[in-house]
A and B are shown apart, each in its own frame.
Chain A
């Protein structure tokens, strides 16, 4: 088993070194679609977490977030999550509040080793995606804390014999309020041409499919979940050109495949620590939405009471 883990981790690090992608618009790291752990009997939890992502042209993003969950009963729980983003790169640095997510999880047979759960929720943007650098120039979406869309999110999680996990989900932008005004030709640095114009950007939906396998390290009460995540972007995004006409962004649709591993440590007081590492190995040709990451690391601590 150690060899398998070593190989998987090595593969992940190799992928991280050579690829760009990820493409999570939010739903991959939400509730049961991220990690569906067994119940604890505690009614409330507050989770504090942060993602680190290495993005396009060495843009680094640090993404702290807070999550509050209430369990109504063994079947039903509701969660709220608020995100923020600090982004820094050769165009400057920004910090802003990101999105607020509200969602509910429902599990049909919570005590069964074969569990089927559903998630439904919304994402509300808390910024207009139009932060500027210190010279007042618009920044690409890689530097923005939100894509500026009001989204509907739905997903299904199925765990069989506490061994295998299957997730599917969809994230649909319902209202587009992106006010980004970035055109690369407003900068003189040639590196800027790696970013697409995203003036009044409009985004298409995403679908996800994830397969994970649980490995229990009983002595240390740690659970490992290596997983493969596929995200399909269901159409080409678009922007408004300098003549006020909408143009599709060629190559912005298609498949992103990620390999990831999640470690979950449950403490005696039922608090929980999660660590996630993920990297893509198949990517879309063009990624104007700024969700590009060559590697993502996530740490989250949950207080339960």
Chain B
């Protein structure tokens, strides 16, 4: 019985040591599009069911390249926040632009070549791991 208790204690210690939160950086980012960039569609963020998001999402075109800018952006934190361009508010057909760089500031995300930005009407802040929508912006001309 002593051995089993020791085993249980060691396993508990292992679990406690491994227990941690996986969160997005809170250090503000300040990335700006180049002066040659032309603004296309944009929209203001609204809160989703699982988070609070504010600021503006705007698509910029520089030559043949497209970028999504998050401007004056702020979001509540989460374990696995991603930036999506999506055809729907709850993402089914989407482009994953990458991990949210910070919960605050001005941020730029490259849109992969070949993506027709006109097909995607929403910018989303989405927790991928738990499929939770934190916020969305309806992108309009």
Contact = CB atoms under 8 A, between A and B. Distances in A.
Nearest to B21: A132
A244 interface: yes
Contacts of A96: 18, 20
B7 A66 contact: yes
Contact of B99 (A128, A181, A243): A181
B98 interface: yes
30 contacts: A46-B7, A66-B7, A66-B10, A66-B11, A68-B7, A82-B11, A84-B14, A95-B18, A96-B20, A97-B18, A130-B129, A132-B22, A132-B23, A135-B25, A136-B22, A136-B23, A136-B24, A138-B80, A181-B80, A181-B82, A181-B99, A181-B128, A183-B96, A183-B98, A242-B97, A242-B112, A243-B94, A243-B112, A244-B95, A305-B3
A242 B95 contact: yes
Most chain B CB atoms below 10 A, which of A136, A243, A305: A136
Given A136-B23, A136-B25, A179-B80, A242 B15 contact: no
A21 to B, nearest CB: 27
A27 to B, nearest CB: 22
B96 A199 contact: yes
- Contact-size category for A: 20 to 34
Given A68-B7, A181-B128, A138 B14 contact: no
A127 B115 CA distance: 33
A136 to B, nearest CB: 4
A131 interface: yes
A185 B3 CA distance: 48
Interface of A: 44, 46, 64, 66, 68, 82, 84, 95-97, 127-128, 130-132, 135-138, 145, 179, 181, 183, 185-186, 199, 242-244, 303, 305
B36 interface: no
Contacts of A186: 98-99
A137 B99 contact: yes
B105 to A, nearest CB: 14
A149 B68 CA distance: 34
A247 to B, nearest CB: 13
Given A130-B22, A183-B98, A46 B14 contact: no
A303 B3 contact: yes
A186 B24 CA distance: 14
A46 B128 contact: no
Interface in B69-110: 80, 82, 91, 93-99
Contacts of B91: 244
Interface in B1-38: 3-4, 6-7, 10-11, 14-15, 17-18, 20, 22-25
